[in-house]
Every structure is written in C-alpha cells, then in structure tokens.
Amino acid sequence: MFESLAEKFEKIFRKLRGYGRLTEENIGEALREVRLALLEADVHFRVVKDFLEEVKREAIGREVLESLTPGQQVIKVVYNRLVSLLGEEESKFLLKSPPSPIMLVGLQGSGKTTTAAKLALLLQRQMGRKSLLAAADTRRPAAKEQLKTLGSQLGVPVYEGDGDAVKIAQDALSVARSQGFDAMILDTGGRLHIDEELMQELKEIKSALNPSEILMVADAMTGQDAVKSVSSFNAELGLSGVILTKLDGDAKGGAALSIRAVTGKPIKFVGTGEKAEALEVFYPARMASRILGMGDVLSLVERAEQAFDQKKSAELQKKMQSASFTLEDFRGQLQSLKSMGPLDQLVQMIPGLSCMPGMALEFENSGIKRMEAIINSMTPKERLHVEIINGSRRQRIAQGSGTTVAEVNKLLKSFLQMQKALRQWSKAGRRLGGVRFPTPF
C-alpha cells in the first residue's frame, strides 16, 4: 500500500533533514522531487499542482526557514497538506431510521458483491447494526450465488427475490422493515463500462429507495480511471461517498490521493485484503501518516483490540507510546500477529519501519518461527537488555535456535532500528509541540 510513494518521500525528507539550514532553493529542489513522485504515483496533475502551491507557500514562510528544525517543519507542512487533500477527518457513515437503505454502485470487477458482505460484517462488529444483504445484480449470473455464499459464511441473511432490479430492491426493503433489520445493503448490477441503460436502472432504484448512502465501489489499482468513473457516477446519481477496494495492492496511491480533490466526494471505506475483516474506515490523517513513513499506531492498536483482549491491547499501546518495547514484548506479539492481518501491512503501521528493508526479515510463517526460536534461545535478561548480547552470546543463541549468527544479527539490528525510530518519533512529537501525528507520541 503506497509502497513506491512512501519510499520516495522517505528519500526526499532524509535529504531535507540533513541540511542544518534550509533555503528557498533547498525547498524548491525538494518540492520538484515531490512533484515527480506524485506524478509517478498517478496522482491527477491538477491535484499535484494545487498541492505543491499550497506546500510551497507554507514551507518558505519565516516560521519554517528560521526554525531550529526546518526539515521537520517542512515534513509537518507536507503532512498537514496531505491530510487536507485526503479529506481532513473521516466522513461519517449515515444511517436513517431502520431499515436504512445503502446502495452500492460501480463497474464490474470493482468488488461490489464482496464489499457488500464486508460492509455488513463491519456494521455488525463496529456499530452493532444488523444488516440484510440484497442481491439486485440481475446481469451477472453468478452474482446472487456469490452473495449467498458470502452471507452464509459470515452469518448475514441474504434476500434474493425475483423480477427486475427495482422490484428486488423494493421487496428487500419491505423484508428488512418487517424483520427488524437496521440496514439493507443493496448489491447492484455493473457493466465493464458506463452506459445509459445501467445509469437509468440505478436512477430508478435510487428513486424507489431514497437511500441514506449511495457508495461507489472503485478499484484503487485502476488509478485515474477510478477517479473518472467516480466523477461519472457522481454526475448521474449524486454519490455520498466512495469505497476504494484493493488498496493493499496499490503501490502508487494515485486514486486515493486524487478522488476527494477531483470529485469532491469522500472516501469512506477502504478494502485492504481478501478476508472478510479487510474493510476499514478511511481516516485521512492515518493514511497521510503511512504515506510519509510515520506509521499508523492507532490503526495497529485497533487491530490489536480485535485480535487480543483489552488488557493486552492496553499493554501494547503503552509500550509503543513509551518506546520501551523489548524483545520480551516482541516475542509475545509474534505469537498473535497472524490474527491481525497480513504482516507486511502491520510493518507499515509502525513508525520508521515501513522504509526499513531490514524489518522485512522474511515476514512469512517460517520467518516468524525463526524469530521466535532466536528470542526463545535468549536468557530473560538478554530479552530485556538487548545491549548486553555480545559476540559469544550471539553464537550461543544461534546454536540454541538452530539458526545462524547472521540471522541473529539481522534480527537484533532490525529490533534496535525499531527502538531508535520509536524514541526519535517520541522526541519529535515533543519538539513539534502539539502537532497531532497518529504515531506513538
């Protein structure tokens, strides 16, 4: 997710932090590199132009140029502008009096049917709302069966119905009302392209239901094509927001960074994987933090709250905030990481780690087992005080864990980098006095 863009930003800001004093020339050079990075990430050219003008206006101000930490101040400016570009605060999800109709629209292949089921699960788990799924995609033969299968797996009821899409939608709303559902999520038909027939059907459904939300499901990996599709659907239907799917496979991020600015419509949810739980509320500040390599500890803690009990979640948050994470803590977390989602996504949420190749550390099952074996071969004192692990101790740990000294060194080096990054971000939060990064400080 945003891997390519995050790496470029990290290189640009590392260079900026290296200057003892910034000049307009230094900042201009950095912004030219930012411009290239954004364009290569497939961000809309008008969005890039406006973004850079706003950043430049703030970055060459006296407050930045005369600051004791000018590099950090420029990063702060870019961060604030990114948050503004992405939408300031998360957009509220609107539910009318039960049963609230929610209409999902979009092109074929964007993931509407899967997203409908994921949204029902999210409403149930995070808001305590009971939803009825309705299969109104009469064009794709397998759509109803797919929705029934997903509903059965998640324990969410599915209404099939007969007739055209408008009748199915009306009947589903009646069933939802009579059976006491809080929401009715409608999976509508899609085409490979936008046409008049499709739009007319969707307009008739909108008129019949008066939905509380009309959400466009768009594939993030299609970049500016997704932005164009959102614009077209919005012009015809008046969207309330966007669900951006397949964001986990989007290394560029052009669609996410362009949609709000180009269409005026907020991203409300993002799909981050194939699992049913891989639909998240979209938080602009957290996403901006990930893009700039600052991590996203708040989302990490929320995932931990779902995977662990409350006591363990509180302990994890406290450790991350105080930058006192030890190898003892690390071992405890390794045993539960799988249930929190793909590990490469979790690494991105930890400040300073997203751009550290060493932290990749073969993040698959066998890699986790080796890491656990290495840590298990240490004494309790070594796990608490990593600095005492000298050459002879490393050799003993390697022999005890069935690994090599090189693998032990790799783990220790990466862990020390993580500790250092957490300390730096804690100090940076105090220096920047009040800026609210979604990081451990």
- Any idea which of 39-43, 112-116, 156-160, 324-328 has the lowest mean pLDDT? 324-328
Distances (CA, A) of 214 to 62, 106, 148, 209, 239: 45, 10, 22, 11, 5
Q: Which neighbouring-strand residues pair with 267?
A: 242
Average confidence (pLDDT) over 47-53: 89
- pLDDT computed for residue 340 by the predictor: 58
Contact 162, 319 (CB under 8 A): no
pLDDT band at 317 (very low <50, low <70, confident <90, very high): low
Please tell me the number of Cα atoms within 13 Å of 190 on its side-chain side: 22
Say if residues 248 and 261 touch (Cβ distance below 8 Å).
Answer: no
- Give the pair of three-digit tokens for residue 120: 């029902």
Which CATH class name applies to 3-86? mainly alpha
- Of residues 39 and 311, more confidence is placed in 39
CATH 3.40.50.300 fits 100-284, yes or no: yes
Of 21-25, 122-126, 321-325, where does the model show the most confidence?
A: 122-126
CATH level 3 topology of 297-431: 434 Repressor (Amino-terminal Domain) (1.10.260)
Q: CB within 8 A of 322, min separation 6: which ones?
A: 426
Lowest pLDDT segment from 67-71, 290-294, 300-304? 300-304
Question: Do 3-86 and 100-284 come out as alike in CATH topology?
Answer: no
- pLDDT for position 24: 77
Tell whether the model's pLDDT for residue 349 goes beyond 70.
no
- 134 vs 325, higher pLDDT: 134
Q: Is residue 438 very low, low, confident or very high in pLDDT (cuts 50, 70, 90)?
A: very low
The answer on pLDDT for 436 being more than 60 is no
Give the mean pLDDT of 238-262: 83
Give pLDDT, residue 25: 82
Tens digits of residue pLDDT in 3-22:
778 788 888 877 877 776 77
The predicted structure's pLDDT at residue 343: 57
Compute the average pLDDT of residues 58-80. 72
Q: What would the mean pLDDT of 61-72 be, rounded to a whole number? A: 64
> In this predicted model, what pLDDT tens digit does every residue of 103-144 receive, in sequence order?
999 888 888 899 999 999 998 888 888 999 988 888 887 888
What average pLDDT does the segment 199-228 reach? Answer: 89
Torsion angle, alpha carbons of 192, 194, 199, 201, to 10: -20
Please choose, from the candidates 47, 62, 54, 55, the residue with its C-alpha nearest in 3D space to the C-alpha of residue 13.
55
Q: Is the pLDDT of residue 356 over 50?
A: no
Q: Express each pLDDT in 158-175 by its tens digit.
A: 998 888 889 999 999 999
Tokens encoding 84: 């503004």
pLDDT for residue 300 is more than 60: no
CA distance 144 to 134: 9
Q: How far apart are CA 254 and CA 5, in angstroms?
A: 9
pTM of the model: 0.67
Domain boundaries, the chain: 3-86, 100-284, 297-431
